[in-house]
């Protein structure tokens, strides 16, 4: 349960855009020290300038979260500047779509590298320092929030790499929650599962490293990109509203953070089928027209 934020330290990955930037803005309003982490230098610099102008003490670090060494160095730099953090938001993420057998090894390495290994490194590098702080000070409170997705609770077609990365983040974070409870009452964990929210996520390719580049996108990847552009840009809930839910969840020690609780019917349907031993349900049950269009496009009709 993290409620008192004034003078406390937040580490935010993916802080240059979207949810990360909005969480940083709220942190600044609450008087938190901010460690802003992003791989995109210009976005990171803009965030640093804005948040320093808002009065926050800022440490901005250009880090690729998929790098174990860079994340270890980051944790050390945070420790030197502010001591152990109180809030770690492992949020940086990228998306790639397409039929699951068409994704290249580079696609898997890039998406799992950022979305899964980035969270693994954040948990690995910061949790021991937070535990040490909690042992040294009974008043210390900390919270780790990992960003997954509704794609961590569902298996929408034509985006398998992303689904796998986000299911792994849900599993990692549920286990983190359980493991923390074995050893401490002072540090909590939550998982953020947004549905479609307008951010830069559908332009993730802007940050794909050159060594993980792939050739021309396949037909299924082009279709997936167009569908994701449309779904993300037409989302009605804002990134700022989702960021506020992150702080509300930390204060209430709530584990699952949903941007669109009404979309949970799909999760219920999936879970019921699993328990009943039924085959995976139609993912387009609520929007049959979308399924008809997608099948027609993929079959070249």
Ligand X SMILES: NC(=O)c1ccc[n+]([C@@H]2O[C@H](COP(=O)([O-])OP(=O)(O)OC[C@H]3O[C@@H](n4cnc5c(N)ncnc54)[C@H](O)[C@@H]3O)[C@@H](O)[C@H]2O)c1
Using rule CB under 6 A, residue 19 touches ligand X:
yes
Element holding 143 (H helix, E strand): strand 142-147
Of 186 and 207, CB closest to ligand X: 207
Q: Is 162 a catalytic residue?
A: yes
Q: Which of 126, 4, 10 is nearest to 57 (CA)?
A: 10
- β-pairing, 187-193 vs 87-90, is unpaired
* Smallest separation (angstroms) from ligand X to the CB of 300: 29
Cα pseudo-dihedral 29, 30, 32, 37, rounded to 10: -50
Q: How many residues at the interface with ligand X, by CB under 6 A?
A: 32
Which 216-235 residues touch ligand X, going by CB under 6 A?
232
> Is the distance from CB of 192 to CB of 14 less than 8 angstroms?
no
CB of 71 to ligand X, least distance (A): 9
Q: How far is the CB of 120 from ligand X (least distance, A)?
A: 13
**Footprint (CB under 6 A) of ligand X, residues 179-218:** 194, 196-197, 199-201, 204, 207
- Rule CB under 6 A: say whether 14 interacts with ligand X: yes
Ranges within 136-155 binding ligand X (CB under 6 A): 147, 149
Q: By three-state DSSP, how is residue 139 classified? A: coil
Q: Which member of 20, 122, 188, 224 binds ligand X (CB under 6 A)?
A: 20
In the chain, alpha helices (H)? 18-29, 41-53, 68-82, 105-111, 118-136, 160-183, 219-233, 239-252, 264-276, 288-298
Q: Which is nearer to ligand X, 66 or 186 (CB)?
A: 66
Told to check if 125 binds ligand X by CB under 6 A, we report no
The full DSSP string for 4-54 is --TT-EEEEETTTSHHHHHHHHHHHHTT-EEEEEES-HHHHHHHHHHHHHT
Minimum CB distance to ligand X, residue 38 (Å): 5
**Contact positions with ligand X (CB under 6 A) in 50-89:** 64-66
Query: Residue 234: exposed, middle, or buried by beta-carbon count in 10 A (0-12, 13-18, 19+)?
Result: exposed
Say whether residue 120 binds ligand X (CB under 6 A). no
Please identify which of the residues 140, 162, 195, 258 carries the catalytic annotation. 162
Query: Considering the rule CB under 6 A, would residue 43 count as an interface residue with ligand X?
Result: yes
Binding site for ligand X (CB under 6 A): 13-14, 16-20, 38-40, 43, 64-66, 91-95, 114-115, 147, 149, 194, 196-197, 199-201, 204, 207, 232
Active-site positions read 162
């Amino acid at each position: 349960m993290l409620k008192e934020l004034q003078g406390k330290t937040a580490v935010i990955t993916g802080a240059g855009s979207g949810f990360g930037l909005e969480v940083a803005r709220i942190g600044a309003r609450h008087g938190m020290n901010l460690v802003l982490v992003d791989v995109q230098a210009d976005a990171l610099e803009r965030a640093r300038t804005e948040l320093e102008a808002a009065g926050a003490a800022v440490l901005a670090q250009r880090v690729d979260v998929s790098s174990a060494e860079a994340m270890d160095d980051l944790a050390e730099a945070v420790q030197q500047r502010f001591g152990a953090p109180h809030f770690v938001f492992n949020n940086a993420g990228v998306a790639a779509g397409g039929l699951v057998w068409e994704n290249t090894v580079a696609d898997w390495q890039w998406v799992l590298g950022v979305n899964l290994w980035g969270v693994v490194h954040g948990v690995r590098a910061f949790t021991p320092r937070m535990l040490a702080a909690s042992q040294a000070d009974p008043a210390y409170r900390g919270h780790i929030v990992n960003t997954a997705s509704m794609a961590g609770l569902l298996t929408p077609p034509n985006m398998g790499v992303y689904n796998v990365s986000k299911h792994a983040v849900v599993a990692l974070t549920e286990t983190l929650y359980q493991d923390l409870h074995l050893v401490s009452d002072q540090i909590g964990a939550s998982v953020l599962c947004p549905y479609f929210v307008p951010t830069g996520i559908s332009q993730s390719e802007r940050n794909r490293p050159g060594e993980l580049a792939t050739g021309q996108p396949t037909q299924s990847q082009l279709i997936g990109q167009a569908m994701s552009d449309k779904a993300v840009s037409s989302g009605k809930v804002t990134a700022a509203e989702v960021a506020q839910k992150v702080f509300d969840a930390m204060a209430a020690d709530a584990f699952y953070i949903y941007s669109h609780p009404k979309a949970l019917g799909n999760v219920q349907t999936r879970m019921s089928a699993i328990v009943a031993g039924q085959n995976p349900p139609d993912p387009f049950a609520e929007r049959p027209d979308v399924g008809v269009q997608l099948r027609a496009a993929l079959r070249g009709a």
